[in-house]
Amino acid sequence: MPAISVANPKGGAGKTTLTFILACELARSGATVAVIDADPNAIIASWGRKRASEGRAIPFEIVASPKESELVRLVDQYTASHDFVLIDLEGTASRMTSRAFARSHLVLIPFNLSPIDAELAANAVGLIQEEAEALGRTIPFRLVRSRDNAAIQTKTAKRIVTAINEAQLPLLPAGLVERAAYRDIFDFSSTLEELDEANTSGVPAAKKNAYEVARAVVAAVQMEMQK
Ligand SMILES: Nc1ncnc2c1ncn2[C@@H]1O[C@H](COP(=O)(O)OP(=O)(O)O)[C@@H](O)[C@H]1O
Ligand SMILES: [Mg+2]
């Protein structure tokens, strides 16, 4: 049912990775998932095409390169037929982005814990609030830490998290950790489950992290839908 957009005008913020990990995790838990790949780089769509060409199963539906004019219809169609609809958005503010926001039950804003990226994430929040004003309703969102350091929380990261809390911006309690596994899934056209621990380090830790992030997203979207 819910539509979840993943947005941040900054390229490299981790939108595609977060969308993909969520799709895999939700599908693994038994949910039906559709991914609308509106990222011009179409990374999830090419992952799907590669798997299809190799005769390997695809655990979720992928809608590739939607046109701006059909996005609303597609979101409505897939929210009616699937448990979750995830929308991987492009790295710029656009009409596509604002239409996706207007139809979303939750917007996730992944960002790297660096001062510059945190500031750009604040701009992304501004875009959501602008769109909410135009719509005349709130658009629920969560900032999501992306490429977190697995071993330690740096002083910079702590400072950024404190600033987010002080600004009363909602931060998802779980963030995606920096893991080789999150890159290798694209290299090997695989899911986390399928990664070979002999070729990729830290697979069990990545699986655990993916599970925690997905659980936090489900809790957030359920909370927002109950409001
Ligand atoms: N948690 C992570 N661990 C390791 N690499 C990551 C992680 N998140 C993103 N990356 C890498 O960072 C780059 C940008 O991520 P991507 O998800 O494509 O960002 P966006 O979609 O916002 O442009 C890619 O090379 C991706 O593999
Ligand atoms: Mg992307």
Statement: the pTM of the whole predicted model exceeds 0.85: yes
pLDDT at 152: 80
Give the CA count within 13 Å in the CB-facing half-sphere of 12: 7
The answer to whether the CB of 83 falls within 8 A of the CB of 26 is: yes
Q: What tokens were used for 45?
A: 């769509």
User: Beta strands 61-64 and 84-88: pairing type?
Assistant: unpaired
Q: In angstroms, what is the span from residue 187 Cα to ligand 1's centroid?
A: 12
The answer to whether the CB of 24 falls within 8 A of the CB of 191 is: yes
Q: What is the pLDDT along the chain (227 residues), one digit of tens a residue?
A: 999 999 998 999 999 999 999 999 999 999 999 999 999 999 999 999 999 999 999 999 999 999 999 999 999 999 999 999 999 998 888 899 999 999 999 999 999 988 889 888 888 899 999 999 999 999 999 999 999 888 788 898 899 999 999 999 999 999 999 999 999 999 999 999 999 999 999 999 999 999 999 999 999 999 999 98
Q: Report the atom number in ligand 1 closest to the C-alpha of 177.
A: 1
* Closest by Cα among 94, 73, 102, 70 to 5: 102
* DSSP three-state, residue 121: helix
Residue type, 79: T
What span, in angstroms and rounded, lies between the C-alpha atoms of 201 and 182?
11
User: Sign (positive/negative) of CA torsion 32, 213, 223, 2?
Assistant: negative
Q: What tokens were used for 135?
A: 């719509």
Q: Is 31 exposed, middle or buried (0-12, 13-18, 19+ CB in 10 A)?
A: middle
Q: Report the atom number in ligand 1 closest to the C-alpha of 43.
A: 18
- In 61-94, which positions are buried (b, 16+ CB within 10 angstroms) versus exposed (e)? bbbeebeeeebeebbeebbeebebbbbbbbbebe
pLDDT at 176: 97
Q: In angstroms, what is the span from residue 227 Cα to ligand 1's centroid?
A: 32
Residues β-bridged to residue 34: 61, 85
Chain centroid, CA 159 distance in Å: 24
pLDDT at 93: 81
Q: What tokens were used for 57?
A: 């199963």
Superfamily classification of domain 3-226: P-loop containing nucleotide triphosphate hydrolases (3.40.50.300)
Q: Which residues line ligand 1 (CB under 6 A)?
A: 11-17, 39, 91, 146-147, 176, 178-179, 182-183
pLDDT at 126: 92
* DSSP three-state, residue 13: coil
Q: What are phi and psi of 85, to 5 degrees?
A: -120, 125
